[in-house]
Copies of this chain bind each other. A is one copy, B any other.
Amino acid sequence: SSQEDSKAAPQAQMEWDYDGPCMKTAVPGPRSMERLKQLGEIQNVDAINFFCNYEESRGNYLVDVDGNRMLDVYTQISSIPIGYNHPALHKLMADPNNLSTFVNRPALGILPPGNFADKLAESLLSVAPSGMTRVQTMACGSCSNENAYKAMFILIPEIMWYRGCLATTHSKAIHKLDIPSLDWPIAPFPRLQYPLEEFTRDNAAEEARCLEEVEDLIMQWRQKGRPVAGIVVEPIQAEGGDNHASADFFKSLRNIARKHGCAFHVDEVQTGGGCTGKFWAHEHWGSDDPADIVSFSKKLLTGGYYHKTDLQADKGYRIFNTWMGDPSKNLFLVEVLNVIRRENLLEEVTRSGKALLQGLYALQEQYPGLLSRARGQGTFCAIDIRDDPTRSKILLKARDKGVLMGGCGERSIRFRPALIFKEYHVALFLNIFNDVLAEFK
């Protein structure tokens, strides 16, 4: 059991990870179907994939309630940083000194624990983006972005963003149906051709077009008497379909923000935590002053945002809610960061990511009518499928063969493995994926 494993040496990852998928039923299997019916009496279950046995899940493998063991290349929408039941996290919970942090959740904005600043230093601040020494924790990704927007509004009253919905970070069209939005300008994100290095000229023109539109919008809104407070952008536009842009694009956008007195907010909720091969995706830009605000959640286990000193609220209670995060998640994050450093996981991700992207390029050549636009940074990869119905079929077939992936955008499959996804996991994945694709030739 995972309990016994927790006593194993933490470096010996191979002792606690499984050695491959193992399928016993179609997915969802009969036990998942029973539970689906049961949960359907309580909630809408249309989005449920299947039910999980988290006790038995380990490393890169998610086990379901029917005993199926799947290689997980999606990891709870990119939110399990070092795999399931990592021994280091179990060890943390075996330490009696940590228990009261779980049992007594404080109102961090008024009565923080004595070690709060130390724990922030050990966890979030030890990986702070360049130029940022301040961080505010929040309970989840939506609250992180929402409060980051508030921090910008405190400076200046309007905001521009790249995605539109009611104070949340989703961009699936269905999230937005019927929900009123604030009247904020939305600028186009570049629509590039892949592989990026083969289309540098066209892509540069597309990026220039988008940058021009950003400046036009800032000007228009200033003329309307509603100056833009900030620009919000993801380093890789994730839910929207894994859209990439060049380091030059982001540095230019950052300069536009600076020139017009707008705050520059980089939303790293999905890209942060190491999956691009650097801890923050914006590090790939090679800028000393990448942003004014960087928001995070998911792999960081706690939500929140870093910010430069001038974006700190000028008074208490301006950025405030009851919990403002959860110190028990900071405890876990300290251990996750230790594991990332000790096991050189960013290097592993870079290696695995290269193997994954090369593999996707090869498959895309092999199946030209089926696959296109393979793209990625680190293991944060995606590929387009010929159409949405085929994508759905591929995702289900792959799952029945023991590989769990996710969709994004109109017809993309996205890969979001844990940081412990190694080259041999890539090979294992590509083999199964190839088998699946062969059926769609």
Given A44-B312, A46-B315, the answer on whether A65 and B114 have CB atoms closer than 8 Å is yes
Contacts of A314 in B (CB 8 A): 44
Closest to A140 in B: B139
Contacts of A172 in B (CB 8 A): 317, 320
Residue A153, interface by CB 8 Å: yes
Q: Mark A150-189, 1 if CB is under 8 A from B, else 0.
A: 1001100110000000111110101101111010000000
Question: A317, B174: Cβ atoms under 8 Å?
Answer: yes
Question: A49, B317: Cβ atoms under 8 Å?
Answer: no
Residue A288, interface by CB 8 Å: no
- State which of B49, B166, B303 has its C-beta within 8 Å of the C-beta of A150: B166
Given A41-B133, A54-B101, A55-B97, the answer on whether A111 and B76 have CB atoms closer than 8 Å is yes
- State which of B3, B80, B112 has its C-beta within 8 Å of the C-beta of A48: B112
Question: B76, A103: Cβ atoms under 8 Å?
Answer: no
Q: A117 CA to B45 CA in the complex, in Å? A: 11
Binds B, one of A31-39, A207-215, A249-257: A31-39
Copies in the complex: 2
Residue A372, interface by CB 8 Å: no
Question: A318, B103: Cβ atoms under 8 Å?
Answer: no
Residue A347, interface by CB 8 Å: no
List chain A positions with a Cβ less than 8 A from chain B: 2-3, 31, 35, 38-39, 41-55, 57, 62, 65, 76-77, 79-80, 84-86, 89-90, 93, 96-97, 99-107, 109-114, 116-118, 120-121, 125, 133-136, 139-143, 146, 150, 153-154, 157-158, 166-170, 172, 174-175, 177-180, 182, 297-298, 301, 303, 312-323, 328, 332
Q: Apart from A90-B99, A93-B99, what 12 extra A-B contacts exist at CB < 8 Å?
A: A31-B114, A41-B134, A42-B121, A44-B313, A44-B315, A44-B318, A52-B106, A52-B111, A55-B97, A93-B102, A146-B167, A166-B167
